[in-house]
Amino acid sequence: MKKNLIMDKNYLSYWLRQIRKTMSLIAPMRLKNADIVFKQVDNIHEIELDCPASLPSPKEFLLPQKEYMFRFSKNSVDVLKDCTKRLIFGVRSCDISAIDLMDRFFGEKFVDEYYMSRRENTVFISIVCNNPDPTCFCIGLGTGPFLKSNFDIQLTDLGDRYLVETGSKQGADLIRGYSHLFSRPKKSDYDDQYEVILSSQSKFEKRISLENTRQKILNEKINDLFWDWIARRCFECGGCVYACPVCTCFNVVDRMEQEGDGYRFRIWDACMFKGFTRMAGNVWPAEKKGSRIKQRYFHKLLYYPDHFGRFGCVGCGRCTITCPGHVDMATIAHRIDVGDRRRR
């Protein structure tokens, strides 16, 4: 399955144009003078690859912010499932790692058929980050800037050409029939790849060890005062959760259109909200903001490693950009690891 090829950059748009005939093409695009978002591509030349990471993560296409599950009427119920074939192009390594985690979460025990239906119809072309953002810290987690496995197709920008690595059957299917666009890699190509990766690795500004952070928490070096202190700077906006490619919590809501007819849909929810665990009779298990923040970070730093053997954070840095109170994963992990005067 694993196969490496070289493609001249000039062929890229032709290749994408051909693939787009069979599936919907999604890629990072710049909104008018504003943020980068993943959206359906109308003009292939508008795809933005040399840009900071998109703020909304591509999880939107697997777990949409709002997903219709059922349409019901007085005497029938329709299961609504998205089976659109999609190619998501230009995804970063960290996001692919996050999707790998989501695959495992939604695919274990009770398999989530809505996620799976989208996932089985989606294929990714990821790109090695030659220029990580100042907020990125995937390098300390092994989730970037390049991937060794678990990708469909991974491109490495070597200047005038791409090194194209296929890592899955879905990836191989995208190459099939286009052999005229590709050539065999030479030793010099691998040398260039090595250079590119080394140079990228050297550009990371943030070096954060979540493992040290985890150990500090496990050794009970952090008490609840720390979380309460963090909480004082949190606005409970939920931005960190919505922006995070790993967070998956959702709420389920019924909405009536008219008498007896309506939809049941799920929408993103956030453990940072006070009402998230509210129960009837005015019971608020996580009333304190500090306890909710602690729960979120314990989930990512302790429970994810216990359950999946990996952190529930891929170092994408989105929460750093989003958080208006500057209490994001990188900051909190750094405080815990390197120290803080409130630490015992």
Partner 1 sequence: MKEIYLPIKAEVVEVLDMTPDTKLFKVKPERPVHYQPGQFFMLSLWGKGEVPISITSACGFHEYVELCIRRVGYITSAIHEVKPPCDIGLRGPFGNTFLAENAKNKDIIFVAGGLGIAPLRPLITRVMNEKKRSRRIALLYGSRNPGEILFKDDIEAWQEKGLQLFLGVRKGLQFILSAGKKDNCLLSGSGPAAESSRIPKISFKNAYAFVCGPPVMISPTMITLSTMGMDENNIYTSLEAHMKCGVGKCGHCYVDGVHLCTDGPIFSYAEIRKRRLQIV
Ligand X SMILES: Cc1cc2nc3c(=O)[nH]c(=O)nc-3n(C[C@H](O)[C@H](O)[C@H](O)COP(=O)(O)OP(=O)(O)OC[C@H]3O[C@@H](n4cnc5c(N)ncnc54)[C@H](O)[C@@H]3O)c2cc1C
Q: Which of 178, 262, 288, 322 binds partner 1 (CB under 8 A)?
A: 262
Residue 249 Cβ vs ligand X, minimum distance, rounded to whole Å: 13
- Return d(Cα 301, Cα 342) in angstroms, integer: 20
Looking at beta carbons only, is 95 or 192 nearer to ligand SF4?
95
Please tell me the count of residues contacting ligand X according to CB under 6 A: 2
Q: How far apart, in whole angstroms, are the C-alpha atoms of residue 86 and residue 24?
A: 5
Half-sphere exposure of 321 (CA within 13 A, CB side): 19
Q: Using the Cα atoms of residue 53, residue 134, residue 206 and residue 128 in order, give the sign of their dihedral.
A: positive
Which position among 57, 135, 154, 248 is part of the footprint of partner 1 (CB under 8 A)?
248
Q: Using the rule CB under 8 A, is 10 a contact of partner 1?
A: no
* Crossing angle for the helix pair 113-120 and 93-107, to the nearest 10 degrees: 140
Complex with ligand SF4: residue 17 or 104, whichever CB lies closer = 104
Residues of span 277-296 touching partner 1 by CB under 8 A: 277-281, 283, 285, 295
Question: Judged by CB, which is closer to ligand X: 61, or 268?
Answer: 268
Cβ–Cβ contacts within 10 Å for residue 34, how many? 8
Residues in contact with ligand SF4 by the rule CB under 6 A: 234-240, 243-246, 272, 313-319, 322-325, 327-329
Which tokens hold the place of 318?
């989105």
When the beta carbons of 299 and 310 are compared against partner 1, the nearer one is 299
Please report the beta strands in the chain, taking only residues with DSSP state E, as ranges in sequence order.
3-8, 24-30, 36-40, 66-72, 77-79, 86-92, 122-127, 153-157, 161-166, 182-183, 250-258, 261-268
Q: Which is nearer to partner 1, 149 or 251 (CB)?
A: 251
**Amino acid identity at 41:** V
Q: From the list ligand X, partner 1, ligand SF4, none, pick the one residue 12 interacts with, judged by a Cβ distance below 5 to 8 Å according to partner type.
A: none
Q: Does 282 bind ligand X (CB under 6 A)?
A: no
Partner in contact with 313, chosen from ligand SF4, ligand X, partner 1, none, beta carbon below 5 to 8 Å by kind: ligand SF4
DSSP 131: S
Q: Does 112 bind partner 1 (CB under 8 A)?
A: yes
| Of 8, 40, 77, 134, the one binding partner 1 by CB under 8 A | 77
CA distance 292 to 271: 7
Cβ distance 311 to 304 under 8 Å? yes
Residue 218 or 253: the one with the smaller Cβ distance to ligand X is 253
**DSSP H/E element including 238:** none
- Six-digit token pair at 24? 């919907």
Phi and psi at residue 219, in whole multiples of 5°? Answer: -85, 15
255 binding ligand X? (CB under 6 A): no
Burial zone of 68 (CB within 10 Å; 0-12 exposed, 13-18 middle, 19+ buried): middle
Instruction: Kindly state whether residue 172 participates in binding partner 1, applying the rule CB under 8 A.
Output: no
User: Read out DSSP for 17-31?
Assistant: HHHHTTSEEEEEEE-
Instruction: Using CB under 6 A, pick the residue from 43, 279, 306, 341 that binds ligand X.
Output: 279
Beta sheet of 86-92, edge-to-edge order: 36-40, 24-30, 86-92, 122-127, 153-157, 161-166, 3-8, 182-183
Query: Pick from 30, 36, 68, 70: which binds partner 1 (CB under 8 A)?
Result: 70
174 binds, among ligand X, partner 1, ligand SF4, none (CB under 5 to 8 A by kind): none
Q: Using CB under 8 A, pick the residue from 20, 30, 299, 343 that binds partner 1.
A: 299
Question: Which residues would be at the binding site for ligand X (CB under 6 A)?
Answer: 279-280
Question: Which residues would be at the binding site for partner 1 (CB under 8 A)?
Answer: 69-70, 72, 77, 79, 105-106, 109-114, 116, 248-254, 256, 260, 262, 264, 266, 269, 271, 276-281, 283, 285, 295, 298-299, 302-303, 306-307
